[in-house]
Amino acid sequence: MDKKIKEILEKAQYRITGEHSAVKICKWTKKSLRGEEGCWKEKFYGIKSSGCCQMSPAVMWCENKCLHCWMPIELNLGTKIQNIDEPKEIIDEIVKERRGLLMGFKSRKNLDLKKFKDALTPGLFTFSLSGEPTLYPKLAELIQEVRKRNAISFLVTNGLNPKVIKDLAEKKSLPTQLIISVNAPNEKLYEKLCKSCKKDAWKKLSETLSLLPKLKCRTVVRLTVTSSVP
């Protein structure tokens, strides 16, 4: 990863690990540690937001340059990750860097100390921080590594790599929950909003959606709603 991009991400409180992964403490983890409300994972599934590790194995790699993306799309590094890190290395370093970030909360007066200690060992790894996780070629092994640590995984994807989803199913490495981001109701709006480098992006998304009923994991379609279209 380019040094300048690394510096930009680190200023935004990301911690870069290895060649292509990153972790950040989300606002819901912070709120949960202060004894406030958690995110939808806590509300719907009883998973403590304080123990959620929001990370990415492809932090600045994505096929799309969505107009509504919260990431600086001008820094997009494309779709090919170079110098692939091993799954165990990624998780080890992600946990280590996340602990370092959490230590800044330890002195807060309203901190739930028990929750803080539990949070140091994540119970959930959410692949959703930024970038497209299905571009990481060892995703099945990464999810298996999460399982070895007695944790669960949520995978958020743009749905443009149905072959990867099929591969996860064949290797019995599907995440606990698979979330497909659907950013437009039709192909015309999709092309306008997502600016994909894939010419058949809408077709690939549709193919991924057609797989959902057959997958042996919890599946969700996440809709993106925008107020206007340029």
Per-residue pLDDT of the chain (230 residues; tens, 9 = 90+): 788 889 989 998 999 999 999 999 999 998 888 888 889 888 888 888 999 999 999 999 999 999 888 777 778 899 999 899 999 999 999 999 999 999 888 777 778 788 888 889 999 999 998 899 999 999 999 999 999 999 999 999 999 999 999 999 999 999 999 999 999 999 999 999 999 999 999 999 999 999 999 999 999 999 988 766 55
Q: What is the torsional sign of CA 131, 136, 139, 143?
A: negative
CATH of 3-223, one of 3.20.20.70, 1.20.210.10, 3.60.10.10, 3.40.50.1860: 3.20.20.70
Q: CA 67 to CA 72: how far, in whole Å?
A: 10
Question: In this structure, what is the dihedral angle of CA atoms 66, 70, 73, 75, given to the nearest 10 degrees?
Answer: -160
- Outline where the chain has alpha helix (H): 3-11, 27-33, 40-45, 87-102, 113-119, 139-148, 162-170, 187-194, 201-211
Q: How many CB atoms lie within 10 A of CB 193?
A: 20
pLDDT digits (tens, 9 = 90+) for 37-54: 889 888 888 888 999 999
Q: What angle, 0 to 180 degrees and rounded to 10, lies between the N-to-C axes of helices 162-170 and 139-148?
A: 40
What does DSSP say about strands 218-223 and 152-157: parallel, antiparallel, or unpaired? unpaired
What are the extents of the domains in the chain?
3-223
Distance of CA 63 to the CA centre of its chain: 15
Q: In what order do the strands lie in the sheet with 124-127?
A: 15-17, 21-24, 52-56, 124-127, 152-157, 177-182, 218-223
